[in-house]
Amino acid sequence: MGDRDDLATLLDEQAAFYRAVAPEYDDHALPFPGGAELARALDAFRPTGSVLELACGPGTWTPQLLRHATDVTAVDASAEMLRIASSRVSSSYATSPHAVSSRPGSSGADSPHGSSPRADSFHGSSPRADSFHGSSPRADSPHGSSPGADSFHGGRAPLRFLQADLFTWRPDRRYDVVFFGFWLSHVPAERFPAFWSLVDDCLQPDGRVCFVDDWHRTDEELIEGEESPIVQRRLTDGTAYRIVKIPHRPAELERQLQRLGWSIQVHPTSGPFYWGSGTRTR
Ligand SMILES: C[S@@+](CC[C@H](N)C(=O)[O-])C[C@H]1O[C@@H](n2cnc3c(N)ncnc32)[C@H](O)[C@@H]1O
């Protein structure tokens, strides 16, 4: 990639894409098998204790994390995504006697994003949003959320949303688990070590990390060729944005992480997805 300014511009454009795509994010879900394996892997990993979710988006994974965690902090750059995440988490507890309402101004339980995603369902046909409907929130565990507010106790595990740029954000505390879904592939190579240093700073000494992602890129989005990390994504109205999409492969990703001091096993699924979990080496 070019110089520092070019990279900063690209990362701004990437963040702008996700702000703009937020209302239609679920329409772009990857229509491939293997996604349900990610949800099962996350359950098997058991994200217990204090959990930090990076790039939480519209709350694809947040309800599933809340089923295991004692508290969750979910960070994303997009206020639009955080509002949808708030609505999704609230609606996932809507049938609970302890259910809470989204804050005024959030998209509400009747929005298309207010429904609970199922672990085995895939929607849409356009493989552009790098996610699938992978979490399976339970309606019997009350939680609440309020993006923009510092924290919220909706019943059991407290949930706090933070709006922040992960390329500059510093944590204010440490966590037992750091999780990120469909984020690592959007971290450019130049920022890869710094990102893992951030993960390190976020973790307790014996903390664990877990991530899920995919390596899928279509021919039409490879506007700069196969070797480039830059792809073009479009909104439904055709507006185009450049974003980073690194097609990590499990074995090489494991080696890269090992060189940075991590012991992380990365597993492929039956589709273009993969998941990884582990700890620091030392
Ligand atoms: C592919 S989505 C993943 C969302 C969710 N984790 C999932 O699995 O569906 C990437 C997310 O990263 C967020 N994002 C993009 N740039 C960011 C940045 N610089 N700092 C924090 N979040 C960012 C976007 O707003 C978007 O929600």
Q: Is 182 in the pocket of ligand 1 (CB under 6 A)?
A: yes
Q: Ligand 1 pocket test: which of 28, 78, 169, 221 has the largest number of ligand atoms within 8 Å of its C-beta?
A: 78
Spatial CB neighbours of 62, under 8 Å, sequence gap ≥ 6: 53, 56, 72, 74, 85, 88, 89, 135, 145, 159
Residue ranges of the chain with pLDDT lower than 70? 1-2, 94-156, 282
pLDDT digits (tens, 9 = 90+) for 208-249: 999 999 999 999 999 999 999 999 999 999 999 999 999 999
Q: Structure pTM? A: 0.84
Domains of the chain: 22-215+248-280 (3.40.50.150)
What separation in Å is there between the alpha carbon of 18 and the centre of ligand 1?
7
At 169 the pLDDT is 98
At 130 the pLDDT is 53
At 110 the pLDDT is 21
What separation in Å is there between the alpha carbon of 242 and the centre of ligand 1?
14
Helix segments in 69-125, DSSP class H: 79-92
